[in-house]
Structure 1
């Protein structure tokens, strides 16, 4: 491999999780509704932040997490700073428990993701309820987070392969 190709490959390796996060935000913000709107769109950036905070925190620094959240706020019309705060809190808590998750069965990591998702959902619900001045209904939020938790194993496998084959072995 030539110098230029090697440099581009190293740049791709460093940027891959951030690019995945941006792609996740674009999918989330796109006017696509699964099963004609019956199934809520999973929060893919949360999956990405969780996975890379466990298995490759050096590949997804806090500045990237902040920018992913800010992009989500801008594209979805949410209050500026809410998603960056949610993602950064999630990243901090997950990284503090990283040693526990490493080497565990995927079922344990999936349960950890479910707990992290519940925490993120609670933060979102509390902030939005405070901003609106009333306790907001949680039905849609619960459905969206349930969809997010259910898709985690698929993305965990895909990201695990990317991590192993491209970022670690290459």
Structure 2
């Protein structure tokens, strides 16, 4: 393989988590609803930010996290800067606890994700309540976070395989 092709391949590997984050935002913003809207759409970018902050922080720099959040704000019509702030706070917390998560059973990491998701939900709810001037109902957000928490193990397995086969073994 030529020098340029190797460099391009290396760049694509390094960008894989960021590309997954962008795809997650596009899936979240798409007008597709699971089971005809009976199940809220999971916040897949939150899963991506959490997973890669634990297992591959070099592949998910803060700039990527910020851009993923900004894209989500632009596509979903949210207040500009809200999702970048939520994702960056999540990344900061995860990175501060990364040594604890590494080498633990997936159940422990899943509980960590549930706690991080809950904190992200509280931040979202507080900011949106402050912006609207009233305490907003939490039901829809809580259901969306539950859907996100329940799909984490599936994405954890897939991303774990991607990390092992494409990024580590390459």
- TM-score above 0.5, yes or no: yes
Structure 2 gaps, min length 5: none
Structure-1 residue corresponding to 2:80: 80
- Alpha-carbon distance in 1 for matches of 2:114, 2:9: 33
- Give 1:4 deviation, angstroms: 2.4
- Alignment length, in residue pairs? 170
- The whole-number CA distance in structure 2 between the counterparts of 1:150 and 1:5 is 39
Where does residue 2 of structure 1 map in the other structure? 2
Aligned to 2:136: 136
1:127 and 2:91 aligned = no
Q: Give the equivalent residue in structure 1 for 2:106.
A: 106
Question: Matches of 2:18 and 2:54 in 1, distance apart?
Answer: 15
State the partner residue of 1:52. Answer: 52
- TM-score of the two chains, using structure 2 as the length reference: 0.99
CA RMSD of aligned residues (A): 0.5
CA deviations 1:7-51 (Å, max 9, x no partner) are: 111011110000000000000000000000110000000000000
1:93 aligns with 2:93: yes
CA–CA separation in structure 1 for the residues paired with 2:8 and 2:165: 17
Q: Distance in 2 between matches of 1:5 and 1:153?
A: 34
Aligned twin of 2:17: 17
**Matched residue, 1:62:** 62
The answer for unaligned runs of 5 or more in structure 1 is none
Report runs of 4+ in structure 1 exceeding 6 Å deviation. Answer: none
